Amino acid sequence: MPPASLPERVGRYEVKRLLGQGAMGRVLLAHDPLLDREVAIKMLRADLDIGPEVRDALLTRMRHEARAVARVSHPNIVELHDMIDDTEAGVCLVFEYVPGRTLKDRIASGPVPPIEVARIAREIGNALSVAHRAGVLHRDVKPENIMLAEFGAKIADFGIARVPDSTLTRAGGLLGTPAYSAPESISGGTFNAATDQFSLAATLYEAVAGMRAFPGDDAIEVAARIGTQEPQPIASTVGLDAKVDQVLGRGLSKNPARRFAACEAFGEALAAALEIGTLQDATRTLVDAAELAKPPRPKPHWSSVGLGGVALGAIASMVVVSLMRPSAPSALEILSARQLAPSAPTAPVRTAAPRATAKPDAGVAIDAAAEASAAVEADAGSATEAGVGVRDASASDAHAWPAVAP
């Protein structure tokens, strides 16, 4: 059962409770019994202190906007399901119900992380440009009209136009605070794609900084600041690249011609500027994480290294010495060497003592010749035995031959 101040039903929809209300309208949560789903119904407030002509103008604009927004389909635009022209409540717009909090609620907790603002800028900027190409203006872009849904941001409240010229009054003041209105909207009642871009820039400025681009408690004071002052630079304060200030400043320009050609272009430029520092931080974080994930290098044990070096040096020396050492000579080489070398002196041939006469003794000569022949045969046998002995020695003891110095 809804509160007594709320209707029980609007058309076929069963009212459950009040979701929220603003300066001009209120949003009700209701149930659609036909399709068995929750919906959000937006209607003008019953207590608005406005004349019948102004009310009729607002209702007519709501009808026009509802027909226009029904032609727009975008995942980041809250879908319009139905429009009801009730005799008591007037024109009511039935939207899809998006559970979650608004960007205004999120900002109340502090500045929004730049990477999240970048995503919102791309999504809402693209959604507004799609609507503009379909001939639909929003006229009321502000943090409370951006829903932070589970799968992305959604712009809500298409079809509720801001009051022309911002001249409607209630209790002696402007109807609502024009904190996000473009200068030309406040002064001349102009609404177009460029004014929606100004409102989006003011909204995202507040999301990044956690404060309004044009602060103030009085609507007239805020309107004067929008028309005469530039927003305070915030990039250095929140640790972002200076291009963030440049993009926001262009979107908040007093001159509509200096703003971006479309909301989509503004959203892409702001997102790119916001991501400059965040992507670098993310890259550094990934590099640091990769370094920490590497297994530690084993520290060298210097004693083991020293012993290994000594062993390698010893092996290398042995190889060099072995290569420089001549191989053992064969028996044939020894025999050839002995034949070429001068003969060793043999035992002197005994001769008879000289006699008075010089005649040779024939028997003595024959004996000398026989002894000489026997000596030659003995030498040959000795050489053969010597060769065999050298070969055996070289086979059994390689170190029998001294190394030859280079």
Backbone angles phi, psi at 21, to 5 degrees: -150, 155
Number of domains in the chain: 1
Q: Scanning the structure block, which residue is given the tokens 């871009």? A: 197
Position 331 in a domain: no
**In the prediction, which pLDDT does 393 show?**
37
Give the integer Cα–Cα distance in Å for 247 and 267. Answer: 9
- We report the CATH number of the domain holding residue 270 as 1.10.510.10
Q: Which region among 145-154, 219-228, 282-291 has the lowest average model confidence (pLDDT)?
A: 282-291
Residue 260 has pLDDT above 60, yes or no: yes
Residue 155 has pLDDT above 80, yes or no: yes
For 189-218, b/e burial (b = at least 16 CB within 10 A) is: eebebbbbbbbbbbbbbbbbbeebbbeeee
Residue 100 has pLDDT above 60, yes or no: yes
What is the pTM (predicted TM-score) of this model?
A: 0.63
Position 259 in a domain: yes
**pLDDT, greater one: 397 or 33:** 33
**pLDDT, greater one: 128 or 139:** 128
Position 381 in a domain: no
Backbone angles phi, psi at 95, to 5 degrees: -110, 165
Position 72 in a domain: yes
Q: What is the pLDDT of residues 170-187, one digit of tens each?
A: 333 333 458 999 999 999
Position 396 in a domain: no
Question: Residue 110 belongs to what domain range?
Answer: 11-169+176-291
Position 397 in a domain: no
**Terminal alpha carbon distance of the chain:** 115
Task: Band the pLDDT of 400: cuts 50, 70, 90.
Answer: very low
The active-site residue out of 56, 82, 140, 288 is 140
Position 180 in a domain: yes
Residue 134 has pLDDT above 50, yes or no: yes
Task: Band the pLDDT of 1: cuts 50, 70, 90.
Answer: low
Task: Band the pLDDT of 390: cuts 50, 70, 90.
Answer: very low
Q: Is 140 a catalytic residue?
A: yes
Residue 43 has pLDDT above 90, yes or no: no
Give the integer Cα–Cα distance in Å for 269 and 246. Answer: 10
Give the integer Cα–Cα distance in Å for 165 and 221. Answer: 16
**In the prediction, which pLDDT does 197 show?**
98
Whether 123 and 204 have beta carbons less than 8 Å apart is answered as no
